[in-house]
Structure 1
């Protein structure tokens, strides 16, 4: 039997230089249990080592990254999916409206605790026009006013009130000889400028309520009416989208401008859920042939590119657009006619991009020259598609 006084279980007897050399490992919690006990007993007796140990522990605290208290941006979607799997809603939101519902809710959560300083923080809206980037300066409140004004295109298509109807201030007189369009202007940029210019005061936090009420009304209306309004046309002034695509477009812009706002107030903001991100990318890919044709009519296509007349519904020269990431996929983009069909047999180029990077290109936040991670094939076709993607952006 061991003698209880034989020293078993006591810290090992170590010399001062050895104990001092162990302070760094102790501060990092890298010592064994016996070494830790020996060091801590020594610190109770040696003032200089105790001071050194305190300084080392403070330094270790500075090296450790504090964990964010912010919730995982995908948590809301996962919780709702789990709840709805157990008890489906009486009036389900159509799948094509789910991304708009989610992105407006995420942005509203970001805005919830903003004070006056955040609402008036400067924001620069950026988009691509022609061959280069352009921008417009506003505030966080001005961005929400912009979303309210443009979402009004969807609201009015559903028979809801137009948020611009309450503006009573007379617009500035048109120059002599200029054509005047009756009523509120119809393009997103025109509606936004109308809202900004004819409001009695610059937008403030008070714009959040009308914007959120309108987004709720849109989701509620399409939910109660079922799949019917999915094909309802929504006019953007110079083009139209069916309701299901218009809500995807509005969800995309809501996310992009939420990132603009988060950047202005120095707050992290993640991308949409993967399935919503995929749907947004799919919409952009489907719109690219029309944008390519419009740029070609304006003389903005790559010089020297060979083109062929292709009958509608027939295969033609195509570019393979490969989008990597959870929201990605592959699309064959017809190059010569919006009515042509993308064809692997007629592929002349291949471009690969990250999913979020492609969305930032389509938002005008990344230049076409900087966007592609991988390029192979016809350089003119690649340039045309990248510039067309950037041309999807607008204020």
Structure 2
């Protein structure tokens, strides 16, 4: 922390992802309310991306093996106990995605705000849509919902920052039912709604990266796992709504890489587990992008074994589950 109260000494480390988790959360919380520090981090991020592009080299053949070995050996530190611990964890992940998207939005020129982004007619429409989807969680957390205003970034950012601030001091559970964002009215737990907010904020940051001509960025493994769990839990109901339910059948979903793991997805919302008739294997990050509707061809995005029709049905429905 510098003498003027701004953590300027952390801006460079934050821009290249070199902060400790505590430092990253501290700087992100400060930058949400400090335009100067947010702009400094954004500027340093642009420099870092330019340097990385200009000096990129082919990695050593053994790099992937060494990185995977280190990742498997790593163990996440134990968090604080109590009913609010999960809310604080999810709030921190959501706050990181909010800070990332805000930094990208600050880099946009006036004309770029009018460029189509993802499924939306403009970046402005994207931010208005995101603020509206965040409003359900804001209301559940006791945050005053922000009305639409002339500056969509400021309104979205203020509401999102208030949600993060509330979750930082949360001391209750996350079981209360709330409506998820999306085309259909689905009520799930507040915990799942928070996972969805982090998910959608990440995906829309990716949409803005496309507008800015920047490479994609992947969240950490824990957030990818949260998103995959949410999607796998919603798939049976989505299959039924799409008319593709297969009673007594299930698909084994094998996700690889960071956030990976095996999940059994019933093809119909029934009490008894179905018989596994197919297996779908794909990277966890790709599955998350598929669920967000950001992959062009669902069947071609995975390796399929067993009953191809059941697997293709699952992938096709998964690709329609985005909040947009």
- Give me the TM-score of the superposition, normalised by structure 2: 0.70
For 2:258 and 2:193, the matched residues in 1 are separated by 23
- CA RMSD of superposed structures (Å): 3.2
1:231 to 175, 179, 183: 175
Q: Does 1:295 align with 2:227?
A: no
Deviations 1:20-60 (A, max 9, x none): xxxxxxxxxxxxxxxxxxxxxxxxxxxxxxxxxxxxxxxxx
Alpha carbons 1:319, 1:382 under 8 Å: kept? yes
Q: Does 1:329 align with 2:323?
A: no
Q: Does 1:319 align with 2:254?
A: no
Which stretch has the larger CA shift, 267-276 or 234-243?
Answer: 234-243
Q: Counterparts in 2 of 1:61-76, with a 5 A limit?
A: 71-73=15-17, 75=19
Give the equivalent residue in structure 1 for 2:90: 96
Give the equivalent residue in structure 1 for 2:116: 123
For 1:322 and 1:265, the matched residues in 2 are separated by 33
Give the equivalent residue in structure 2 for 1:257: 204
**What secondary structure does 2:242 align onto?**
helix
**CA apart distance, 1:78:** 7.3
Alpha carbons 2:236, 2:269 under 8 Å: kept? yes
Alpha carbons 1:293, 1:338 under 8 Å: kept? no
**What secondary structure does 1:115 align onto?**
coil
**What secondary structure does 1:272 align onto?**
coil
Greater relative contact order (Cα 8 A, min sep 6): structure 1 or 2?
1
Give the helix-richer structure, 1 or 2.
Answer: 2
Alpha carbons 1:290, 1:338 under 8 Å: kept? no
Give the equivalent residue in structure 2 for 1:178: none
Which 5+ residue runs of structure 1 have no aligned equivalent?
1-68, 127-135, 168-198, 309-315
**CA apart distance, 1:362:** 0.4
Alpha carbons 1:334, 1:340 under 8 Å: kept? no
2:133 to 150, 161, 165: 150
Instruction: Mark the CA change 1:78 to 1:377 in structure 2 (over 3 Å): closer, same or farther.
Output: farther
Deviating above 6 A after TM superposition, structure 1's stretches of 4 or more consecutive aligned residues are none
Q: Which has the larger radius of gyration?
A: 1
1:267 to 204, 211, 214: 214
